[in-house]
Amino acid sequence: YDVTAPDDPTANPPAGDYASDQSVELSSSDATSGVAAIYYTTDGSTPDNTSTLYDSPITVDQDMTIKAVAYDNAGNPSGILEATYGIPPVISNETSPSTTTTKATITWYTDDLSTSRVIYDTVSHPILGAAPNYDYANSTVEADTSPKVTSHSVGLSGLTAGTTYYYRT
């Protein structure tokens, strides 16, 4: 009679921040009776045997937390895997449609709902430093936190006339 829980599920690739979409595979093992199924959620709820049945890789194309539980053939549940992934939105159509000698408005679109912020400086930073400003001298406040948006517009003020500014959205 098997009373031993299966191994907690594992995720491959492991949780973390990635520069592009990921295809996540879940697995578990049970030496006694074998793994019957893995169930998962992506909405923050605790998974059980009524959650989504894992039967193919999970596409992670935005920030997401996968929670998963395995059941062995005797019905014993494993512990819960919690794997959080960070996937940046794809930024497109960056423009500065409104510019004066001391102000500029930067607009752009993202493919996923996200917040709005611009970091900027009078020197270029081809290699980013550490968060939160990545070595840029200036930053706007983070806007559009609730609700998040896909159409972004951020104003910069206090600029010096005749000066070139470099920015990242």
What is the DSSP annotation of 72-138?
Answer: ETT--B---EEEEEE-PPPEEEEEEEEE-SS-EEEEEEEEEEE-B--EEESS--SS--STTTTT-SE
Tell whether the model's pLDDT for residue 98 goes beyond 90. Answer: no
pLDDT in tens, 34-78: 999 999 999 999 999 999 999 999 999 989 999 999 999 999 999
Eight-class DSSP state of 62: S
Distances (CA, A) of 74 to 8, 34, 86: 15, 8, 35
CA-to-CA distance for 109 and 103, rounded, in angstroms?
21
CA-to-CA distance for 18 and 169, rounded, in angstroms?
18
Categorize the per-residue pLDDT at 97 as very low, low, confident or very high, splitting at 50, 70 and 90: confident
Average pLDDT over residues 134-149: 96
Joined tokens for residue 162: 């005749």
pTM over 0.85: no
